[in-house]
Amino acid sequence: MVSIFLRVLLLNSLGLVPYVLTITSFISFNISVALRLWLGPILFRLSQSLTSFLAHLVPRGTPPALIPLIVVIESISIIIRPLTLRVRLLANILAGHLLLSLVGSALKFSVVGRFVLLTQTSLVILELAVAFLQRVVFITLITLYSKE
């Protein structure tokens, strides 16, 4: 997990270099990472014991009449996890890069260049923090999903 964390943090940080588009802003990269990290533990658990995997879908004390509905709901929540990981990462990274681009283009047309330059510098620092926090959230969610 640490190597994945550092790799994606580096890739996110490369997006702060002017005229460099980070690979984490592409849907295909995000979904491939999320699928691999999500599907691996699921297939491992399925290969170990199918009955314990299926029993995990139904909480204790569930009325027998609700078991089919609960299984469907839990299955859907497990299936959409890579999608939610991908959307979370993509939206936050693209929003930060878009904000930097908009403020950077305002720098070209601004009379008050120092204010915009200070704002741009502040946004770059904020974007570095967002890149780090997104990696922490991504790795934390993957770890939690794999422990379930």
Q: What is the pLDDT of residues 77-89, one digit of tens each?
A: 888 877 777 777 7
Banded pLDDT at 111 (limits 50, 70, 90): low
> Taking each helix axis from N to C terminus, what angle separates 2-14 and 27-48, rounded to the nearest 10 degrees?
170
pLDDT (0 to 100) of residue 132: 75
For residue 104, pLDDT beyond 80? no
**Residue among 91, 99, 94, 86 nearest 125 (CA):** 99
Q: Could you tell me the two tokens for 121? A: 């510098």
More confident residue, 19 or 126: 126
Closest CA to 8 of 88, 99, 102, 79: 88
> Which of 123, 119, 90, 103 lies closest to 12, judged by CA?
90
pLDDT for res 114: 66
What is the dihedral angle through the alpha carbons of 73, 76, 78, 84, rounded to the nearest 10 degrees?
-120
CA 15/CA 22 separation, integer angstroms: 4
Mean pLDDT of the chain: 75
Which pLDDT does position 18 carry in this prediction? 67
What is the number of structural domains in the chain? 1
Residue 24's pLDDT band (cuts 50, 70, 90):
low
Residue 109's pLDDT band (boundaries 50, 70, 90)?
low
Q: Count of CB atoms within 10 A of residue 98's CB?
A: 11
Binned at pLDDT 50, 70 and 90, residue 98 comes out as: confident
- Give the residue numbers spanning the domain of 76: 2-147
Read off the pTM.
Answer: 0.54
Residue 107 in this model has a pLDDT that exceeds 70: no
